[in-house]
Structure 1
Amino acid sequence: MGWLIAHNSLHTNSRLKSFGMNVDGLCFLCGQAEETQKHLFFECAFSRRVIQALMKCTGLKLPETNILHWCIHNTGLKTQRKVMNALVLSAMYQVWQQRNKSRIEQLVMRPMRVAQLISDDMKKRIKERDKRKLTSQDLDWLGSLSFI
């Protein structure tokens, strides 16, 4: 999914229209703008609320703009980079899932619930990791986020 996003290859409404398909170009999640990949992940009100709720759930400071660029150039401890990148990619995946649900079933979860699913998934992933491979600094940081 990350590769598809990085290469602007998801089949958004805008892209489907460019292939000649007869689709409404509006975003399924907010209905306020043309559904481009940039809009869906970086400008859509739904996506912004998911990111804001995720920051609230985790206590992390994720950027609200240019998230993909931030993931690529994120500095910090290796474990912190991995966790932050996984959170962002998980958020993008969940937004895409919600977009598809909205398109097919006309159902969308609330952004806070989507953020909670992402947070719960991260907690599960971190608990499954071998703690011996983590430094004490990593463990302290993860503990401060209530992930362990």
Structure 2
Amino acid sequence: WLSLQDRCWTAERLARHGLPHELACALCDQEDETMQHLLAGCSFSRQVWHDILAWARSPTDLPTGDTDLLAWWASSCALVRAATRKGLSSLIILIAWWIWKHRNSCTFDGDRPPVSHLCSTIKDEARLWAQAGAAAITNIIPER
């Protein structure tokens, strides 16, 4: 929710408030860090989106740095059957949350785990959600 409201403390927001910050994205070090870049345009994040959406057999395109994330989310959900919309929405939220957590780990702890590590974490978390009773996500993730 905060990311869609541009309320997360990215480099762009820190700069607007006159606070110290690194300019470059903590994940790719290629562009300035904005919420849109971090969640949709970053090469690291795009690999994560690709791997997880492919794993879930989602027919949606990847978000891009030029597309509003909320608009992409809505159009992606419109492409899938009604029975899988809630599951896809849950997965999108899960991916965005873990990208943000990964960014924070890189920024504050100096971690640099590879895409494969983050994807494995997201898949494990999705399975845990399914085991905890999130039936909607169970509809879209593959069995082991």
Seen in structure 2, the aligned counterparts of structure 1 residues 20 and 124 have a Cα distance that, compared at 3 Å, is same
Structure 1 residue runs of 5 or longer lacking an equivalent are: none
CA deviation profile, 1:79-135 (whole Å, cap 9, x unmatched): 41111111111111111111111111111322122222222222232233387xx8x
Aligned twin of 1:120: 124
Q: Shift in Å at residue 145 of structure 1? A: 4.3
Q: CA RMSD in A?
A: 2.5
Moved more, 29-38 or 114-123: 114-123
| Higher radius of gyration, 1 or 2 | 1
Seen in structure 2, the aligned counterparts of structure 1 residues 147 and 68 have a Cα distance that, compared at 3 Å, is farther
Aligned twin of 1:70: 72
Seen in structure 2, the aligned counterparts of structure 1 residues 23 and 130 have a Cα distance that, compared at 3 Å, is closer
Letter aligned with residue 89 of structure 2 = N
Looking at structure 2, the residues matched to 53 and 130 of structure 1 have their Cα atoms a distance apart, in angstroms, of 21
% identical aligned pairs: 21
Q: For residue 4 of structure 1, give the secondary structure of its aligned residue in structure 2.
A: coil
Runs of 4+ in structure 1 deviating by more than 6 angstroms, as ranges, are none
Letter aligned with residue 91 of structure 1 = I
Q: Shift in Å at residue 69 of structure 1? A: 1.6
Q: For residue 25 of structure 1, give the secondary structure of its aligned residue in structure 2.
A: coil
Aligned twin of 2:51: 53
Letter aligned with residue 24 of structure 2 = L
Aligned twin of 1:18: 16
Aligned twin of 1:109: 113
Give the helix-richer structure, 1 or 2: 1
Asked if structure 2 preserves the Cα contact closer than 8 Å seen for 1:71 and 1:84, the reply is no
Q: Shift in Å at residue 146 of structure 1? A: 2.0
Looking at structure 2, the residues matched to 78 and 121 of structure 1 have their Cα atoms a distance apart, in angstroms, of 23
TM-score by length of 1: 0.79
Q: Shift in Å at residue 33 of structure 1? A: 0.6
Structure 2 residue runs of 5 or longer lacking an equivalent are: none
Letter aligned with residue 130 of structure 2 = I
Seen in structure 2, the aligned counterparts of structure 1 residues 60 and 104 have a Cα distance that, compared at 3 Å, is same
Looking at structure 2, the residues matched to 29 and 55 of structure 1 have their Cα atoms a distance apart, in angstroms, of 19
TM-score by length of 2: 0.81
